[in-house]
């Protein structure tokens, strides 16, 4: 794609961000004809080895060590092993949101440039209902109160200036194995309480709430529980789908502008002759724009055919919606 795609992932240091990313790297190709490839082959080998350790090992050897440095991953989404699009993924260390260092400024800058956010909330904070009495405590411990702050650096005005109407945010309930005993509808409402501005009327925020787990048994036995990933592929597929549909909308508007210019220049025989060089260049631009638009639509439809969003909740301006994945 012509536009550089960046995804920012935030969460508490114990929220399982890195394990989610490792599982997602493998889970996408296990569930569909899509696959992810690290653009750096050595990085791809490292990620595969880390996931293999989670699946095959037990005890302290199972889980990757936490990191105090930001990790930037460059991925390529493939379909039937053929490259489709590249994107950059920033896994920011959990403690950085509280630092008074240059790291915070870097994080703010990256937030302003991002195409989508992942907010990771561990299910361990949602084992019990969120009430008025404990809401502040849960929001602080899970870092939900800090994550929302970074949306302030992605201002509505900036989005309008760049022509973007939607910005996808996925609130990922990681370690959902801690919450299987809870009513799912009540759990979703508790998540919404932790990010009230995202669900305000006329806020324009497009938000998915997606529970994920590496395995049902892990809450009881993290060192030996069976690895059975669930929903790990959905967040990245949803964000990429939203980014692509936004790009398709902008590309379609550009096509209309070129066609309108051509209509004016070709309004009569004299205009066609006097503007023949401009018309030729515009027709060339129109052909290129149409090819790019069709390529984007093809990628959207590929994602739509492979992905099932029925297990997630999606909201626009606080109202639950259904996304029509069929653009054919």
Task: Classify residue 3 by its DSSP letter.
Answer: S
Helix axes 17-31, 234-265, angle to 10 degrees: 70
CB 226 within 8 A of CB 215: yes
Checking if the pLDDT of 246 tops 80, the result is yes
Rg, the chain, Cα only: 22
Task: Write out the E strands in the chain.
Answer: 6-11, 34-38, 71-79, 82-91, 116-122, 168-174, 206-211, 313-316, 319-320
Four-residue CA torsion sign, 217, 223, 224, 229: positive
- pLDDT (tens digit, 9 = 90+) per residue, 19-42? 999 998 887 776 678 888 999 999
- pLDDT (tens digit, 9 = 90+) per residue, 47-72? 999 999 999 999 888 998 766 677 88
**What is the model's pTM?**
0.87
Place 165 in a pLDDT band, splitting at 50, 70 and 90.
low
């Amino acid at each position: 794609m012509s536009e550089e795609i960046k995804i920012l992932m935030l969460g508490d240091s114990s929220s399982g961000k890195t394990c989610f990313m490792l599982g997602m790297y493998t889970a996408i190709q296990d569930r569909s004809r899509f696959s992810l490839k690290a653009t750096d082959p050595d990085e791809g080998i490292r990620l595969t080895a880390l996931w293999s350790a989670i699946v095959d090992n037990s005890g302290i050897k199972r889980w990757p060590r936490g990191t105090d440095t930001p990790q930037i991953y460059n991925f390529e989404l493939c379909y039937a092993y053929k490259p489709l699009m590249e994107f950059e993924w920033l896994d920011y260390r959990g403690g950085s949101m509280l630092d008074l260092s240059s790291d915070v400024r870097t994080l703010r800058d990256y937030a302003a440039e991002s195409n989508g956010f992942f907010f990771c909330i561990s299910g361990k904070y949602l084992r019990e209902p969120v009430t008025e009495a404990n809401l502040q405590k849960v929001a602080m411990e899970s870092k939900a109160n800090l994550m929302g702050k970074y949306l302030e650096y992605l201002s509505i005005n900036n989005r309008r200036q760049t022509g973007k109407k939607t910005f996808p945010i996925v609130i990922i309930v990681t370690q959902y194995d801690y919450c299987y005993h809870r009513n799912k509808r009540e759990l979703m409402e508790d998540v919404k309480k932790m990010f009230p501005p995202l669900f305000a009327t006329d806020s324009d925020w497009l938000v998915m709430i997606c529970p994920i787990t590496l395995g049902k048994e892990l809450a009881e036995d993290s060192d030996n529980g069976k690895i059975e990933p669930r929903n790990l592929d959905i967040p990245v597929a949803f964000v990429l789908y939203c980014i692509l549909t936004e790009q398709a909308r902008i590309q379609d508007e550009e096509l209309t502008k070129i066609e309108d210019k051509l209509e004016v220049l070709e309004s009569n025989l004299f205009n066609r002759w006097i503007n023949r060089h401009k018309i030729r260049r515009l027709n060339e631009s129109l052909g290129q724009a149409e090819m790019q638009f069709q390529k984007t639509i093809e990628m959207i439809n590929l994602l739509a055919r492979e992905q099932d969003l029925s297990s997630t909740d999606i909201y626009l301006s606080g109202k639950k919606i259904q996304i029509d994945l069929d653009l054919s």
